[in-house]
Amino acid sequence: MKLRPPQPETPAADAFRIHRAKVDGDLELGFIREGIGGYPLLLVHGYPETKRIWWRNIRALAEAGFEVIVPDLRGYGDSDLSKDDAYDLVLYSRDCRTLVHDVLGHPRCGAIAGDVGGVVICDLANRFPGFVERMIFFNTVPPTDFANPGWYAERGLSLMPLPDGPTGDYRIRQGRDPQALIAELDSPDRCRRYLRDFYEHRLWASSGSFDDADIDFMIEPFADIRKLAASWAPYQLQYGRKMSEMPMLGPVETPTLVLYGPEDRVVPDDFVKRCEAGFRNRVGPVVVPEAGHFLQWERADVLNGLAIHYFEALKSRR
């Protein structure tokens, strides 16, 4: 196994206090809140993740003077399942704003996310102008400028992102055939085994990024098939799942630092080009070596340093 750049020490599983707050009727989110009183940074996980994917980032950002807010999205981890099976990108976005703005009292924040979380913070920035002051975005579906198809055509790109490569079959099964998949995953061990694949042989992460203990930590919240199945909801939207509202995933004007972990084989190779169209006020894209889909964990050293620098000017707002 190749030597990897040394990373910040991973805190113990119980290193951070879990808070709870109602965000939609009786539905509660579980979240971490460290560095209270600093400038608020919202860290949003994706799939197949929970707030635990940020374990190597929370302490460094809090010690740098930020209030670090890390929720589990509805249906994930320590957050409630929806009694009405209500899960989609806009609901995730509205939950995050309610938590940060209404519950914790922050009129503005910075945000960092990849995967599903990256799509969520784009909606958050577009839906609530001025609420997200700056973002860091990585390894997910970039915003699309549907009003400017020529920009894509001139660069040999389709207007919509191409389907995933050879590791993308999970999207079809979770989106189109969830009941059949639930029937197969009929024990906690099988649920964990299914999730383990994403951290091992699906070619999402750079080699050696996760050892067995790391993977066990990441997948433990998904041993409950109800939690695992709830996390598939975004993949079902293209197969007819009802949406509460259309997400606002057009071009983003919010200042954004775009990062790219190139060892990710689930994000299309044209990710960087699409970000150049989708973010109107961007820094980057910056390629982060020896990082893949789970960039915040794989290269926590890089992300932490960049985030501290990128959001530093906002600390004077407090």
The token duo for 1 is 């196994």
Q: What percent of the chain has pLDDT over 70?
A: 97
The reported pLDDT for the residue numbered 169 is 85
Look at residue 312 and give its three-state secondary structure. helix
In one letter, which amino acid is 217? Answer: F
Residues in the chain: 318
Question: Largest Cα–Cα distance of the chain, in whole Å?
Answer: 53
The reported pLDDT for the residue numbered 168 is 78
Are 69 and 57 in contact by the 8 Å Cβ rule? The answer is no
Are 58 and 68 in contact by the 8 Å Cβ rule? The answer is yes
Helix locations, the chain, DSSP H? 58-63, 89-97, 115-127, 149-154, 169-176, 178-184, 188-199, 212-219, 225-230, 233-236, 271-278, 295-298, 300-311
The reported pLDDT for the residue numbered 163 is 65
pLDDT surpasses 90 at 55:
yes
CATH number of 18-164+244-317: 3.40.50.1820
Distance CA 234, CA 54 (A): 21
In whole angstroms, how large is the CA radius of gyration of the chain?
Answer: 18
In one letter, which amino acid is 277? Answer: A
Domain range summary for the chain, segments of one domain joined by +: 18-164+244-317
201 band by pLDDT with thresholds 50, 70 and 90: confident
For 122-162, write each residue's pLDDT tens digit.
999 999 999 999 999 999 999 998 888 898 998 888 888 77
pLDDT surpasses 60 at 1:
no
Mean pLDDT on 183-204: 93
Look at residue 258 and give its three-state secondary structure. strand
Mean residue pLDDT of the chain comes to 94
pLDDT surpasses 60 at 109:
yes
The residue to which tokens 């703005």 are assigned: 101
pTM of the model: 0.96
